[in-house]
Structure 1
Amino acid sequence: MARFLLTLYITLMAVIFAGVANMVFCKLPIARRFTIPMDGGKTLSDGKRLFGENKTWKGFIGMMILGSLSQIIWGLCLTIVPSLEQYNLFYAAYKNVWQTNSWIGLLLGFAYVLFELPNSFMKRRLDIRPGKTAENRWKWLFVFIDQADSLLGCALVVALLVPITWQQFLGIILVGSGTHIIVNQVLFRFHLRKNPF
């Protein structure tokens, strides 16, 4: 079990770093021209927004760029500790070089934000405010979905690039979701998130 968890964390640690960095980036008063909603403020025939105010081009592009940079930096860190490098699933099939890490990180960042969009779409249909979760008996289901959607995208990228077991696929989603909740709690404490989930 320890080796299983270590493999998941070593493989996706760069995505965790990128997610935190992107949260900080979105709060900074830079690149303001990209702080525009991805849906352009448009509504559908039901009168509700497509994704809402929180899904901006700044966050979307930021996650891809920071995903790439984080993967490069994490790859360099792992060359310093070769005993950990072997646990990264990507390096079983690809060399740990910055060129490879740049496009792997870009793909992971892209999948991370892309797979958040269907959830945002559904929440707008259910009148759940942007940045919030459901306040009814389905609350914990939506808390899980809020954390798992982006991890599903990352798990698919990993599965497309390297051979993994179904246990590893589910592990990325479940362990990643649990980690996501913990990270969100920390970000909430430091006022980088408006809510703890």
Structure 2
Amino acid sequence: MDLVNFGYNLLSIFVFILPAMVANGTPVIIHGLPPIDMGKKWRDGRRIFGDGKTWGGFLSGIIAGLIIGGIESLIVWHNILFDSLIASIGALLGDLTASFIKRRIGLERGAPAPLLDQLDFYVGALIFLYLFAGKVFNLYAELAFAVIIYALHRLTNYTAYKLKLKSVPW
């Protein structure tokens, strides 16, 4: 694959993942309503997800992802609202899955889990885009974008920490 095609593949991933990126970051700012797990514990005695995963955050993430998809639909060559919905839901479910895994291995809310914390939403969005929207991206571009996502995630979390939106910088 030449550099132009690789760049086009990266741009394509960006267009379809941007709503997921926004959906993933929105619950840090807009949250509330009851926790998704309603305070319930798993059979290991630990919370299923924890207080940080709320219905308000989940719903606001989906709405924010759809807004970004609507804006993108005005800019790009076709309507990607459905893809934005799918990517946003996948991102938020990927984040919930990571939270579930962290609780199962005994990590509390805010405890670092390198790579899992940074790539959970990205992997969830890619899986959902593939399963429910039939989107297939170049594997090398997906991996390169994972590196970009990792760096952006670290930067945005550090910024949110400095702005006192998060209690930890990761």
Q: TM class by shorter-chain length? A: 0.7 to 0.9
Contact 2:28 2:165 in 1 (8 A): yes
Tell me how far apart the structure 1 counterparts of residues 16 and 99 of structure 2 sit (CA, whole Å).
27
Return closer, same or farther for 1:58/1:106 CA change in 2, 3 Å cut-off.
Answer: same
Please state if 1:54 is matched with 2:48. Answer: no
1:176 alignment partner in structure 2: 149
What is the CA-CA distance between 1:110 and the residue it aligns to? 0.4
2:88 alignment partner in structure 1: 109
Please state if 1:162 is matched with 2:144. Answer: no
Tell me how far apart the structure 2 counterparts of residues 63 and 110 of structure 1 sit (CA, whole Å).
8
Tell me how far apart the structure 1 counterparts of residues 36 and 15 of structure 2 sit (CA, whole Å).
32
Tell me how far apart the structure 2 counterparts of residues 22 and 45 of structure 1 sit (CA, whole Å).
27
Q: Please give the root-mean-square deviation of Cα atoms over the aligned residues, in Å.
A: 2.3
Tell me how far apart the structure 1 counterparts of residues 120 and 35 of structure 2 sit (CA, whole Å).
19
1:96 alignment partner in structure 2: 78
What is the CA-CA distance between 1:52 and the residue it aligns to? 0.9
What is the CA-CA distance between 1:6 and the residue it aligns to? 4.1
Identity %: 25
Please state if 1:146 is matched with 2:117. Answer: yes
What is the CA-CA distance between 1:68 and the residue it aligns to? 0.9
Contact 1:159 1:169 in 2 (8 A): no
- What letter corresponds to residue 96 of structure 1 in structure 2? H
From 3, 14, 39, the equivalent of 1:41 is 39
TM-score by length of 1: 0.71
Instruction: From the CA coordinates, give the structure whose radius of gyration is larger.
Output: 1
1:9 alignment partner in structure 2: 14
Tell me how far apart the structure 2 counterparts of residues 44 and 7 of structure 1 sit (CA, whole Å).
39
2:70 alignment partner in structure 1: 72
Return closer, same or farther for 1:5/1:166 CA change in 2, 3 Å cut-off.
Answer: closer
Contact 1:41 1:52 in 2 (8 A): yes
- What letter corresponds to residue 14 of structure 1 in structure 2? P
- What letter corresponds to residue 71 of structure 2 in structure 1? I
Q: How many residues align?
A: 163
What are the ranges of 5 or more consecutive residues in structure 1 without an aligned counterpart? 27-31, 80-84, 86-94, 134-141
Contact 1:64 1:107 in 2 (8 A): no
What is the CA-CA distance between 1:143 and the residue it aligns to? 2.2
Contact 2:41 2:47 in 1 (8 A): yes
* 1:18-39 alpha-carbon deviations (Å, 9 max, x no partner): 433442222xxxxx5xx21111
- What letter corresponds to residue 25 of structure 2 in structure 1? V
What is the CA-CA distance between 1:10 and the residue it aligns to? 3.9
Return closer, same or farther for 1:190/1:40 CA change in 2, 3 Å cut-off.
Answer: same
Structure with larger RCO (C-alpha < 8 A, sep 6+): 2
What is the CA-CA distance between 1:7 and the residue it aligns to? 4.2
Tell me how far apart the structure 1 counterparts of residues 111 and 23 of structure 2 sit (CA, whole Å).
22
